[in-house]
Structure 1
């Protein structure tokens, strides 16, 4: 059996190195070379040439923040959207290009997102009724992750424009983070109203755009590519046992609450007793998996982000900061503040 998904991936998620090429092109479009940043963040050519290689989302966010500082463009994420090609989504992007309609193409990019990224908040989703594509980003928001939302929504928009040949492809854009004084720039780029401080990150397609046939639609090739996507997806999920599945469901459910076994069982389509029995067969208990999941996420949030500890406590579903501090000391024998300071010193010392 393949190694479990949760054991080989960073707790907050990871992303394909294909997206580093998008960032490099965006930086070049601004008149700069990204190579010094690749050197700084230990992004080697060998890594870039490995099609299945990934880096952690926190590393990707820090690299993006550095790229924004280098170029001086706070909207570098939109430039990344401009530079995004279907092939940058890997096999999923190739399948999308040959889909019967524009909306089906976008839906397949979302359906097979696990082939090129994994996000602790959950996977993208396409609602066929409302023609809305939704994206989940790490939050609370700060200068490290604004551009991630911009680049993803921008990339989806660019895909629709590319395959349809139309510029006005969206009815509305929703963005979770607050308006940073760039609303006019965003509405001009997306060509539609943009709502900041929304409950989700999403783009909604125009009804007349959805059924348009992509320029490279090809039924036989599409079927072949979808089959390859399904094979890869099964290979990824084939290594997930019930423990991995529970941890995968737990993470996005944690925010502001402690999800019950009954809630997770329902998410998996199982009865509570069935889930308990399956976990017991693997020598695991739900409360231990909950604790392990919180610990892995806590280490990444404290080490890889600048979020304050009250925010992290809420994200992990603790009742408050004191409960989070107590758990952290139990896990590591030190406070989260001491751990963050210790990690910062190690970084400074190389």
Structure 2
């Protein structure tokens, strides 16, 4: 068993806390998740002891197998029902003591990377035109990642509404739920869970909050505890960012801006708050350059997409900013001396 971070984290990674949430849910379904974890060489105890994280693709495969074993396609919603603030670590404590729902939603988005990092995007909280907490997920969708969207939105819903219960007058704090993927056969389960309009085939994944009540002070709030927890979250976030070299910072920005486009060094430098000349100099000091990072990033993402997802090769080509699928095929053969189809089949056969 391993207690360290997966070596293949091109698409991002998540905290072991989410596995604990999944394990709790499987126990309530009278299902033993341990054989599935063992299959993927994962130990919750060892990951927890070493502050370990799990690759997003491995997490999706574990969830998919649990769905197959239990027959519960609503696994993500069940995980949301079973979530508790402890599953969110120090971020959970900050949420539990936040002064109002707006502040709680803000910290959920602001400190998301303490628990999960997706190289293609991150959650946000906007206040106009309507207060909305959004979750970024890898798309297009397939049976491996539906439950991820469900679990995040359902967990946010449970945590937010559990705090809203302390308001003087009970209110529906979530006004509407938006989900990017098409309406599933069991859509009534979503409406029953969220108890508000649920819009599938939306342009984003997220919760639209009730603007009339999110600023109302929560009677159970504790300002001193919130400030302490928020400062600890901020310190941990700064530590993560300080430990990043410039190569890592560039990889993050490139990954976020590849879809349908290949960003040049001027665009990335602007996103990093510096000039192209300064960025070139800093990368030179790290014995690399922008073009090399671009190629390495696209290669890493390409291998992860082909190996770990069911995306079509045309979709992968678009996500990686290639002008045509043919250009992607040519680059993939240069990287691997194999076609995307053969490369994917190799890994499918290994798993079987």
Query: When the two structures are superposed, what TM-score results if normalisation uses the length of structure 1?
Result: 0.92
**Aligned residue number for residue 121 of structure 1:** 120
| Comparing 278-287 and 90-99, the one that deviates more | 278-287
Q: Distance in 2 between matches of 1:7 and 1:274?
A: 33
> Partner residue of 1:253?
257
Q: Does 1:303 align with 2:311?
A: no
SS at structure 2 position matched to 1:90 = helix
Q: Which residues of 2 match residues 150-299 of structure 1 at below 5 A?
A: 150-165=150-165, 166=170, 168-214=172-218, 216-299=220-303
Supply the distance in 2 between the matched residues of 1:183 and 1:190 (Cα, whole angstroms): 11
Verify: 1:312 aligned to 2:316, yes or no: yes
CA shift in 2, pair 1:48/1:290, >3 Å: closer
After superposition, residues 139-154 of structure 1 pair within 5 angstroms as: 139-154=139-154
Instruction: Determine the structure 1 residue equivalent to 2:138.
Output: 138
Cα deviation 1:24-82 (Å, max 9, x = unaligned) = 22223333232232222222243353362111000111111111112212111111111
Contact 2:305 2:311 in 1 (8 A): yes
Q: Is 1:345 aligned to residue 342 of structure 2? A: no
CA shift digits 1:186-223 (9 cap, x unpaired): 12211211111111111111123312444542111111
Structure 2 unmatched runs, 5+:
none
Could you report, residue by residue, the CA deviation over 1:142-179 in whole angstroms, capped at 9, with x for unpaired residues?
00001110110111111111112157221111111111
Following the alignment from structure 1 to structure 2, what is the Cα–Cα distance between the partners of residues 262 and 128? 30
Q: Which runs of 5+ in 1 are unaligned?
A: 1-5
Distance in structure 2 (CA, Å) of the matches to 1:7 and 1:241: 20
How far apart are residue 341 of structure 1 and its match? 2.5
Structure 2 SS opposite 1:49: helix
Q: TM-score, normalised by structure 2?
A: 0.91
Q: Which runs of 4+ in 1 moved over 6 A?
A: 6-9
Question: Relative to structure 1, is the Cα distance of residues 153 and 105 closer, same or farther in structure 2, using a 3 angstrom cutoff?
Answer: same
Q: Quick check: 1:120–1:138 contact (8 Å CA) kept in 2?
A: no
Q: CA RMSD in A?
A: 2.0
CA positional deviation for 1:97: 0.8
State the Cα distance separating 1:100 from its structure 2 match. Answer: 1.0
User: Aligned in 2, Cα 1:35/1:7: closer, same or farther, shift over 3 Å?
Assistant: closer
Distance 1:107 1:97 in 2: 13
1:3 alignment partner in structure 2: none
The answer as to whether partners of 2:47 and 2:53 remain within 8 angstroms in 1 is no
2:54 maps to what in 1? 55
> How much does 1:266 deviate?
2.2
